[in-house]
Amino acid sequence: MTTAPGFPEATDGAQARALNTSGGPVRVGGSLFVHADVSGTVRERIATVIIDEHADMARVVAGRVATLMRERAAAGRPIVLGLATGSTPIGVYRELIRLHREEGLSFRHVISFNLDEYYPMRPDSIHSYHRFMWENLFSHVDIDPANVHIPDGALDRADVDAACARYEAAIAAAGGVDFQLLGIGKTGHIGFNEPGSGEQSRTRVVHLDSVTRRDAAADFFGEENVPREAITMGIATILQAREIAILATGEHKSGIVRRAVEGEIDRAVAATFLQRHPHTTFYVDHAAAVDLTRVATPWLIDEVHWDDALAVRAVTWLAGRCEKAILKLTQHDYAENALSSLVARHGSPGAVNGLVFNVLGAKIRGKSKLPRGMKTLCFSPHPDDDVISMGGILRKFVENDNRMTVAYMTSGNIAVFDHDVRRYMDFLVRLAHEHMGDSAAVRDLAATVHAFLDAKRAGQVDITEVQDIKRIIRESEAVSGIEVMGLTRAHARFLNLPFYQTGKVRKDPIGPPDVAIVADLLREVQPEIIFVAGDLSDPHGTHRMCKEAIDSALHEVYDAPGAPARPQVWLYRGAWQEWPITEATVLVPLSQEELTLKIQAIFKHQSQKDSAPFPGQDAREFWQRVEQRNKATSAQLDHLGLAEYFAMEAYVIA
């Protein structure tokens, strides 16, 4: 994280707005350096704070909430909080719980109103927001249950409208919402205010957009199980809050963040209405901010300090904009696109072109330029991320006689269809009957499994026996996949980290047992190179959590006095996106045969083939995404005038 002296320091977005009269940098959260501004720039219409670390974001937002709570308590007045659900605010709730337990933050004077709830939805369902809030916040603090308000998804249809009116009346009777916490959906919805929601809308029943339902499919173990309606606060209700914080993390939110912050107010994107609110702060991580103009193309806004990394980004952008190879860019191209200062710094367009051409070319490493004979540990969050994301380099490392270990961090068992369990159970029964006699153990297991699956409700957590079968299915597929790459079962390690073992899509936080397992493996293998999933678009957050466990284990093993030298860390990305060539440290070319081999390894994951349980918004199969992604990376280099390759993988050496 970059830090610099002399910048004003704020504790939260509200203070940052007050300090940030010039649009310059402001520190938020002690030593954390972020960008903030009042109007953003002329392009930003909501004050936006970029905070890379999610723990820091949680501390900043929870700190603001805690400050307001203490101020109101000291004045003998209650505070009214508007609360959101989903994966993004969980960190804020965990920090509030910590403040309650360790610093005495009391919730006795808090009145809460939740944004929304699915309809119909029983409050005890594992999918209900009622249950979510009690599990993730309320049951851990001293709030009065009578002060907790969550829309009732179990009402008869005839009673819903009256209940919505009472919800609005209760908010008004409490004095209105003092601080509203929001997330943002891919459609730009806040709460469940889907495209088309009006600025004057109030608490009501809404029909859920198909994108929203698809996003929720993983939580419900299938889109067909997602309710088609929900109860939500309206836009007008949200805008009446005195202060609003909206959070977004991950690259998959970057497009809608830019639309909400920089675009025109539009009923098709509910979050744009927040531009009318004078005390809204958007908190985003760098991944969610990458499309903001000040991050993507800062030279279009103001003077910039040109270093080689920024020059590479600018020239690559310019070449794409002008549809020219890098070495063909002219003075006119630079002048017409606000890049004259870059040419002035280097003396001529040719000098800039040559610099960027050489920097990009130096990133390309074929097999002869890759490590040889090194102890290498590949961490794969799920049992297929290794071959999906780094199948090409994995094969090249094997060919270069590197000593390989592939560590599968989670079982991935929730991503196996029930029909696969039935199929494998039938195989075991037939095998037992034909080769081992009529095994009582197999018959008993089959009876238990079939009885459960026959009675299983949509989204119900699997019994242990079913979870184990699904885990074993994924493990056998993983071994089959690396065998295509020239490795064996002896090269595979299945860590089965505890945080994942909830049986649900939502996982426990990373804890000491998870870190200990990873740390023990590091001590055993003593790797010189490790591969880590560094992508920020995994919709379920598992990749991010696995990286958190690895980072903590690296600190434990290598940062103590007298510890061995840290291994080199190579970051790859998962099934959703590739590293941009401007960010990548290493670009690994693949031949047609090598890409075919990689796809064959992906095919070994039969439980994820044809129709994966959790494919995200991308309807393509994983092998199709890989093929198009790897070919697109090489094609971009070709268009820039560099060497032409069939396909290419990208990595960042941290």
pLDDT tens sequence across 564-600: 999 999 999 977 788 999 999 999 999 999 999 999 9
* Phi, psi dihedral angles at 208 (to 5 degrees): -80, 135
Q: Alpha helix (H) ranges present in 240-384?
A: 254-262, 286-289, 293-296, 308-322, 331-336, 340-346, 349-362
pLDDT above 60 for 4: no
Q: Which residues are CB-contacts of 359 (< 8 A; sequence separation ≥ 6)?
A: 308, 312
Q: Say which of 194, 477, 621, 649 is annotated catalytic.
A: 194
The mean pLDDT of the chain is 91
Kindly report the number of other CB atoms within 10 A of residue 517's CB atom: 18
Give the whole-angstrom CA distance, residue 131 versus residue 650.
41
pLDDT above 90 for 282: yes
Strand, helix or coil for residue 588: strand
Is the Cα torsion angle 526, 531, 536, 538 positive or negative in sign? negative
Between 5 and 289, the more confident residue is 289
In the chain, the percentage of residues whose pLDDT exceeds 90 is: 78
pLDDT above 50 for 547: yes
pLDDT above 90 for 24: no
Instruction: Answer yes or no: are the C-beta atoms of 77 and 109 closer than 8 Å.
Output: yes
Average pLDDT for 123-129? 92
pLDDT above 50 for 37: no
Provide the token pair at 446: 């089959």
pLDDT above 70 for 136: yes
- The per-residue pLDDT for 8 is 54
Which band of pLDDT confidence, cut at 50, 70 and 90, is reported for residue 356? very high
Average pLDDT for 197-208? 96
pLDDT above 60 for 42: no
* Phi, psi dihedral angles at 505 (to 5 degrees): -65, -40
Q: Which residue has the tokens 């710094």?
A: 345
* Residue among 39, 6, 3 at smallest CA distance from 21: 39
Domains of the chain with bracketed CATH: 9-295 (3.40.50.1360), 309-360 (no CATH), 367-416+463-653 (3.40.50.10320)
One DSSP character per residue, 347-408 reads SSHHHHHHHHHHHHHHTB--GGGS--S-EEEEEESSTTHHHHHHHHHHHHHHHTT-EEEEEE
- The per-residue pLDDT for 501 is 83
- The per-residue pLDDT for 23 is 45
pLDDT tens sequence across 220-263: 877 888 999 999 999 999 999 999 999 999 888 999 999 999 99
Report which secondary-structure segment, H or E, holds 570.
strand 568-572
Is the Cα torsion angle 540, 382, 564, 396 positive or negative in sign? negative
One-letter amino acid at 157 equals R
Between 240 and 534, the more confident residue is 240
What's the Cα-to-Cα distance from 141 to each of 101, 104, 110, 137, 574, rounded to whole Å?
8, 10, 11, 7, 37
pLDDT above 70 for 38: no
* Residue among 246, 275, 190 at smallest CA distance from 49: 246
Q: Which residues are CB-contacts of 439 (< 8 A; sequence separation ≥ 6)?
A: 432, 433
Q: State yes or no: is 194 an active-site residue.
A: yes
